[in-house]
Amino acid sequence: MRRRQRSAWIAGTLLAIGLACLPLLLQIGLGRSWVRIADLALLYTLLALGLNIVVGYAGLLDLGYIAFYAVGAYVYALLDSPQFGLHWPLWAVLPLGAASAALFGVLLGAPTLRLRGDYLAIVTLGFGEIIRIFLNNLNAPVNITNGPQGISLIDPLHFGTISLAAPHRLAGLTLSPPLQYYYLFLACVLVVVFIALRLQDSRIGRAWAAIREDELAAAASGIPVRNVKLLAFAMGATFGGLAGGLFAGFQGFISPESFNLMESVMVLCMIVLGGMGHVPGVILGAVLLTVLPEALRMLGDWQLNHLGRVVADPDDLRMLLFGLALIAMMLFRPAGMLPSPRHRREWRKDARP
């Protein structure tokens, strides 16, 4: 027992050192743009972990999840930009964004959660589009969101007077902005991972698993099905809203186009690809699906250098390979790359003795 504890400590320490050094290695080895990609991967990890609560834990298919990301991002953008001349502190804006997203989660969930399966998926898909179209049109009669132009000059993430968009020197090292964002996002991811893992083993987590399996039997076991589902929606939305706020402060510019249906589908793909309901799988999925498309962009340069011209547009190629990868996954590893033991059971063909 003690030995296992010690090896867990060693593994944890190594992982921490690795995660801390990773962006430095990326910056030296591949350049600063890759640190930015790592930042994005962390943001998507936050999103995927949030959606995993709804889809993976509670089994509710949500195709409009990106709307909560949008809510968090717009709350940040409106309260921290020249749009209204507001410059609220980070500690107020981020929680407010997360809370607003949770509120929207409940607003969406309350009337729709009696729907099941496909019907719920369609309604959530509609909800995601409604939010996006609202953001697109809320520039008249009163200009709130600036419409399709989006909001620019958003204040970067900042602690008091320390802005993460400016480099800082720490112990003889110069920390570039992407590096600073990396450490902030990493801290957020670690907190969310901790919460997600604790939730899974909690009373609520078991209630979610029961609802995913059989709603009637869950109700017959005394589980308040509606409230527990609403809680899943609200928790997932909270994480989405947090990620949205971080995204707005990181990017400095947001527009409704950043929150289209494709993004929702992308986050869902991360979960499915990685392993639904399993935190390590979800993280793997999010990192892979952020990094791979970026890596494929390099195929364009490669074509220019070796073939003299771009034969296949890397963007098309990206989607093509992406589709092929998903089909291959469904054929060979339908439960995901790192499935949870329980989901592996679900996919084992007819496990009856």
Partner 1 sequence: MTALLALNALTVAYGKLHAVQDVSLQVAQGERVCLIGANGAGKSTLLKTVGGLLQPRSGSIHFASQSIGSLPGHAIVARGLALVPEGRGIFNRLSVLENLELGAWLRRDRAAVRQEIATICERFPRLGERRNQPAGQLSGGEQQLLAIQRALLSRPRLLLLDEPSMGLAPMMVEAVFSSLLDAHRGGITLLLVEQNAQLALTHTDRGYVMESGRITMENTSAALHDDPQVRAAYLGVGSL
Sign of the C-alpha dihedral computed for residues 220, 103, 41 and 166 taken in this order: negative
Residue 224 near partner 1 by CB under 8 A: yes
- Report the amino acid identity of residue 298: M
Q: Which of residues 253-312 bind partner 1 (CB under 8 A)?
A: none
CB of 214 to partner 1, least distance (A): 6
Stretch binding partner 1 (CB under 8 A), from 70-78, 111-119, 202-210, 298-306: 202-210
What is the contact mask toward partner 1 in residues 2 to 41, using x (rule: CB under 8 A)?
----------------------------------------
- Nearer to partner 1 by C-beta: 148 or 224? 224
| Rounded CA separation 241/150 (Å) | 18
Q: Which stretch binds partner 1 (CB under 8 A): 81-89, 216-224, 234-242, 278-286?
A: 216-224
- Output the six-digit token pair for 216: 């009637």
- For residues 168 and 342, which CB has a smaller minimum distance to partner 1 in the complex? 342
C-alpha 295: how far from chain center: 20
Number of residues that bind partner 1 (CB under 8 A): 24
In this structure, are residues 61 and 205 in contact, taking their beta carbons and an 8 Å threshold?
Answer: no
Q: Is 140 in the site for partner 1 (CB under 8 A)?
A: no
CA dihedral 201, 206, 211, 217 (to 10 degrees): 160
The least distance separating partner 1 from the CB of residue 208, rounded to whole angstroms, comes to: 11
Distances (CA, A) of 68 to 39, 124, 271, 298: 19, 11, 17, 32
Q: Between 206 and 333, whose beta carbon lies closer to partner 1?
A: 206
Binding segment toward partner 1, per CB under 8 A, in 138-146, 149-157, 213-221, 290-298: 213-221
Q: Is 110 in the site for partner 1 (CB under 8 A)?
A: no
| 318-347 positions binding partner 1, by CB under 8 A | 342, 345-346
Q: Which residue is it, tokens 């709130």?
A: 144
3-state secondary structure of 166: coil
Name which of 6 and 345 has its Cβ closer to partner 1. Answer: 345
Which residue number, 10 or 217, has a Cβ lying nearer to partner 1? 217
C-alpha 200/C-alpha 197 separation (Å) is 5
CA distance 121 to 238: 19
**Using the rule CB under 8 A, is 216 a contact of partner 1?**
yes
Q: Which residues have CB under 8 Å from 243's CB, separation 6+?
A: 43, 46, 47, 50, 69, 72, 188
Q: What span, in angstroms and rounded, lies between the C-alpha atoms of 123 and 235?
A: 19
Structure tokens at 38: 């790592």
Residue 225 in contact with partner 1, rule: CB under 8 A? yes
Which residues are at the interface with partner 1 (CB under 8 A)? 203, 206-207, 209-210, 213-214, 216-226, 342, 345-346, 351-353
